[in-house]
């Protein structure tokens, strides 16, 4: 079917027959092209004679090209019947010149067919005068004057539509004049928009311009009418080929609809996408006191208005439009009705509760029309810490353990520091800094200056360096990290064990009270072994810096952190404390014992100079979220957010996608058999 459309040519058919098949193939192939593409496709199938003439008018729509082709077809047919030859180049065609030459040669005595020489007497009456010999042989398509072509026209910018004198019939001409007010004895009524309870328009796209009378110049006609006792907004649009009622109005007013006798597709200008119009409704409406009417309207999902009066209504009511006042007048029941426009409201309507989704294609069209796009992204926020009344005195007593920010200066030099032992003979890395956008670089510089002011980093002269980068956090902020892959490749790995998740959860049996403590920037609370600072050097655009505290990204950092936490909380681990990196879970059988356990842990944190993030801590709760599980006295439950992610995971189609799915789903099988 598409091949038929591609190879469609007019041939010996008429323009109407060719156009009919062109539209049928367009509909059957469901072609979506721009007007320029459709015009090019349509004109490409016309006969050469018609195509050359149509291209001179540069049609912008298929309808315009069709009308031009029909006029040219009639002209060709008329001149063919009268024995004339239509000349497109201002002279005779090669076929006419050949036939004329042969006729003249055969009719003149003394002409040799082989040499073409003429030996007989000249007969001036036998000379055929070509159209080029007269000044009226061709006409300029630019200005309409004869004697020169469009390319030689002294006024090429002027484009005028001319009527062939042979086609013009004065008797068929009709002069249309708007009747004057005194021509008929009819009374005149000025109709403003109706007032009352009005259907709500979902959204207003543009605020109207201000200024005296300026709104008449820049706004189409809009006003209000009454439909089934409700005031609705309507628009008069001469560019609409149909009368239209919105789906919202039909739904809210309970209007009965029926199947459209001739369904069609409707494309919104500059918005992309198409909708199928398959329903229509008989709408009864009134404006003022003397004008009550009804008409068939196509039901379309739109939000510009509730009712749109198009060409059918204007044609049936013989409406006249005053472009300056933007009024519409017509005679109805021997009374002249003048519809006055309403000034657009300056208030922006409140947005509806429904979610407005934009497809990717429509989003691309929207961003092409504007220079800047602002995106509002929703994110989850944690509520402020709710401290039970029983734990409030304890939290106040240990307020120094829950500061707003990390204390200034370096943490204490504990028995365990972070060691960086490099492989003997390894080549030291020296990587360039990463290229960043101005916004990212500004944020990186701010964090570097902040860390330098706290004493966590200092300027360096290290022979090795790796680049720094920014990683987004869950709360929408950025965390500065160091790309330590190069230094990790030549680092001797520690073999300190990381606790298994199953072993940690098995210790919680019989507990009913839980408290979770989360250390604030736990890595930065551990010192680098003196003498190893140069091995942590990193680059930015401003220079070279080295860490004095343990940064993120080092290969042995998790092992060092677990060693420090196990050493500090060793007396409590396995009894009423579970530690997994910077998460500390305190569990007890009853509230009284739980308060005592909390005090003992907080005393250790104060002694070791550890600080916690108060917003991430949870105190004395029967149910707590820990390491992806919901822990309570009843046992373990899975986190619903994780289960929802598994349920909504798209069906894997490749090996990589299958592995990703199994990696997520295999996290829960021990406690969730359904997975």
User: CB of 534 within 8 A of CB of 546?
Assistant: yes
Highest mean pLDDT, choosing among 12-21, 129-138, 452-461, 502-511: 452-461
Lowest mean pLDDT among 204-213, 283-292, 520-529, 625-634: 204-213
Beta-carbon count within 10 A of 298 CB: 23
Q: What is the pLDDT of residues 240-265, one digit of tens each?
A: 888 999 998 998 888 899 999 888 88
Calculate helix-pair angle for 62-81, 15-29, nearest 10 degrees.
160
162 burial level (CB within 10 Å; 0-12, 13-18, 19+): exposed
The 3-state DSSP class for residue 606 equals: helix
What pLDDT sits at residue 588?
Answer: 92
Last residue of a domain, one of 23, 55, 81: 81
Annotate 296-334 with DSSP letters as a single string: EEEEE--SS-SEEE-HHHHHHTT-EEETTTTEEEEESSS
In a domain, 52, yes or no: yes
Same-domain pairing of 633 and 643: no
Task: Looking at the structure, tell me whether residues 601 and 651 fall in a common domain.
Answer: no
What DSSP line would sit under 515-531, residue for residue? Answer: EEEEBTTGGGGSBBPTT
Question: Is the pTM of the predicted complex or chain greater than 0.85?
Answer: no
Q: Which residues contact 47 (CB under 8 A, 6 or more apart)?
A: 10, 11
Structure tokens given for 456? 């966590």
Beta bridge partners of 258: 280
Looking at the structure, do residues 629 and 671 belong to the same domain, yes or no?
Answer: no
Buried b / exposed e across 362-383, counting CB within 10 Å, b at 16+? eeeeeeeeeeeeeeeeeeeeee
Cα separation, 226 vs 228, in Å, equals 7
* Residue 128: pLDDT over 90: no
Same domain, 654 and 568: no
- Average pLDDT score over the chain: 78
CA triple 553-557-559, angle to 5 deg:
145
Assign residue 468 the CATH number of its domain: 3.10.10.10
Report the pLDDT value the prediction gives residue 99, as an integer from 0 to 100.
Answer: 44
Compute CA distances 276 → 23, 25, 302, whole Å.
Answer: 17, 18, 12
The answer, yes or no, to whether residue 670 has pLDDT greater than 90, is no
What's residue 576's pLDDT?
A: 92
Q: Which residue has the higher pLDDT, 82 or 633?
A: 633
Is residue 623 located within the same domain as residue 661?
no
Whether the Cβ atoms of residue 391 and residue 513 lie closer than 8 Å to each other: no
Asked if residue 419 is part of any domain, the answer here is: yes
631 and 655 fall within a common domain: no
Q: Which two tokens stand for residue 82?
A: 């009268």
Distance CA 541, CA 41 (A): 56
Percentage of the chain with pLDDT > 70?
74
3-class DSSP state of 221: strand
Comparing 18-27, 202-211, 312-321, the range with the smallest average pLDDT is 202-211
The pLDDT-based confidence of 601 (bands split at 50, 70, 90) is very high
Give the confidence band of 273 by pLDDT, cuts at 50, 70, 90.
low
Q: Is 300 found in the same domain as 289?
A: yes
Q: Which residue has the tokens 């469901």?
A: 30
CB 280, CB 258: distance < 8 Å? yes
500 part of a folded domain? yes
pLDDT at 302: 83
Cβ 547 vs Cβ 456: under 8 Å: yes
Tokens of 263: 């369904």
Domain limits for position 510: 405-637
CA distance 478 to 460: 24
- Whether 472 shows a pLDDT value over 80: the answer reads yes
Q: Which strands form 629-632's sheet, in the order they lie side by side? A: 623-626, 629-632, 635-638
In a domain, 478, yes or no: yes
Residues 606 and 649 in one domain: no
What are the C-alpha distances in Å from 103 to residues 100, 106, 133? 5, 5, 19
Q: Is residue 572 part of a domain?
A: yes
Tokens of 589: 């059988």
- pLDDT higher than 70, residue 479: yes
Q: What is the pLDDT averaged over residues 384-396?
A: 81
Give the residue-averaged pLDDT of 558-581.
92
**Pair 648, 633 in one domain:** no
- Reply yes or no on whether the pLDDT at 185 is more than 60: no
Distance between start and end Cα atoms, the chain: 49
- Whether residue 648 sits in one domain with residue 618: no
pLDDT in tens, 302-337: 888 889 999 999 999 899 888 888 889 998 888 888
Is residue 138 a part of any domain in this protein?
Answer: no
Distance CA 554, CA 422 (A): 12
Number of domains into which the chain is organized = 4
DSSP classification of residue 85 = -
Q: Which two tokens stand for residue 43?
A: 């004109």
Same domain, 504 and 615: yes
43 and 13 both lie in a single domain: yes
Angle among Cα 288, 290, 292 to the nearest 5 degrees reads: 85
Residue 235 domain-assigned (yes or no): yes
């Amino acid at each position: 079917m598409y091949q038929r459309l591609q190879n469609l040519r007019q041939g010996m058919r008429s323009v109407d027959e060719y156009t009919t098949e062109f539209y049928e193939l367009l509909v059957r192939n469901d072609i979506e092209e721009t007007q320029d593409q459709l015009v090019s496709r349509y004109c490409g199938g016309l006969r050469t004679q018609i195509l050359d003439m149509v291209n001179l008018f540069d049609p912008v729509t298929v309808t315009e090209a069709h009308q031009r082709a029909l006029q040219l077809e009639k002209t060709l047919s008329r001149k063919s019947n009268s024995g004339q030859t239509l000349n497109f180049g201002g002279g005779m065609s090669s076929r006419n010149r050949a036939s004329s030459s042969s006729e003249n040669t055969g009719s003149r005595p003394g002409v040799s067919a082989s040499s073409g020489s003429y030996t007989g007497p000249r007969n001036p009456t036998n000379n055929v005068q070509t159209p080029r010999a007269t000044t009226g042989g061709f006409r300029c398509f630019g200005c309409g004057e004869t004697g020169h072509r469009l390319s030689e026209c002294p006024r090429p910018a002027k484009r005028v539509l001319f009527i062939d004198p042979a086609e013009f019939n004065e008797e068929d001409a009709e002069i249309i004049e708007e009747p004057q007010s005194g021509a008929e004895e009819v009374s005149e009524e000025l109709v403003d928009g109706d007032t009352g309870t009005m259907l709500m328009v979902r959204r207003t796209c543009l605020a109207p311009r201000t200024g005296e009378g300026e709104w008449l110049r820049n706004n189409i006609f809009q006003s209000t009418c009454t439909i089934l006792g409700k005031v609705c907004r309507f628009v008069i649009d001469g560019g609409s080929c149909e009368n239209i009622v919105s789906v919202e109005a039909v739904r809210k007013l309970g209007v009965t609809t029926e199947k459209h006798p001739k369904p069609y597709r409707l494309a919104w200008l500059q918005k992309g996408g198409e909708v199928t119009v398959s329903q229509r409704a008989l709408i009864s409406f009134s404006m003022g006191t003397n004008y009550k009417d009804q008409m068939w309207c196509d039901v379309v999902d739109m939000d510009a208005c509730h009712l749109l009066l198009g060409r059918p209504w204007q044609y049936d009511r013989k409406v006249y439009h005053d472009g300056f006042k933007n009024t519409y007048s017509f005679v109805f029941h021997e009374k002249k009705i003048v519809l006055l426009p309403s000034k657009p409201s300056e208030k922006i309507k409140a947005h509806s509760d429904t979610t407005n989704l934009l497809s990717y294609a429509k989003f691309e069209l929207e961003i092409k029309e504007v220079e800047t796009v602002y995106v509002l992204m929703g994110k989850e926020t944690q509520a402020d810490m709710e401290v039970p009344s029983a734990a409030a005195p304890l939290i106040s007593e240990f307020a120094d353990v829950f500061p707003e920010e990390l204390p200034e200066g370096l943490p204490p030099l504990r028995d365990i520091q972070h060691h960086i032992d490099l492989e003997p003979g390894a080549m030291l890395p020296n990587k360039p800094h990463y290229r960043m956008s101005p916004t990212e670089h500004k944020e990186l510089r701010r964090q570097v200056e902040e860390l330098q002011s706290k004493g966590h980093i200092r300027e360096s002269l290290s022979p090795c360096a790796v680049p720094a980068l920014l990683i987004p956090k869950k709360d929408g902020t950025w965390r500065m990290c160091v790309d330590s892959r190069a230094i990790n490749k030549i680092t001797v790995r520690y073999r300190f064990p990381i606790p298994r998740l199953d072993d940690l959860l098995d210790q919680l049996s019989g507990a009913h009270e839980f408290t979770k403590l989360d250390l604030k920037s736990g890595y930065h609370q551990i010192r680098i072994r003196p003498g190893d600072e140069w091995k942590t050097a990193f680059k930015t655009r401003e220079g070279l810096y080295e860490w004095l505290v343990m940064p993120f990204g080092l290969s042995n950092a998790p092992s060092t952190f677990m060693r420090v936490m196990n050493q500090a909380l060793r007396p409590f681990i396995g009894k009423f404390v579970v530690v997994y990196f910077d998460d500390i879970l305190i569990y007890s059988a009853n509230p009284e014992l739980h308060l005592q356990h909390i005090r003992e842990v907080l005393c250790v944190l104060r002694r070791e100079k550890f600080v916690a993030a108060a917003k991430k801590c949870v105190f004395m709760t029967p149910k707590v979220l820990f390491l992806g599980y919901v822990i309570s006295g009843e046992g373990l439950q899975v986190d619903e957010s994780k289960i929802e992610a598994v349920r909504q995971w798209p069906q894997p189609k490749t090996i990589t996608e299958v592995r990703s799915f199994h990696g997520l789903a295999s996290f829960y099988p021990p406690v969730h058999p359904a997975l």
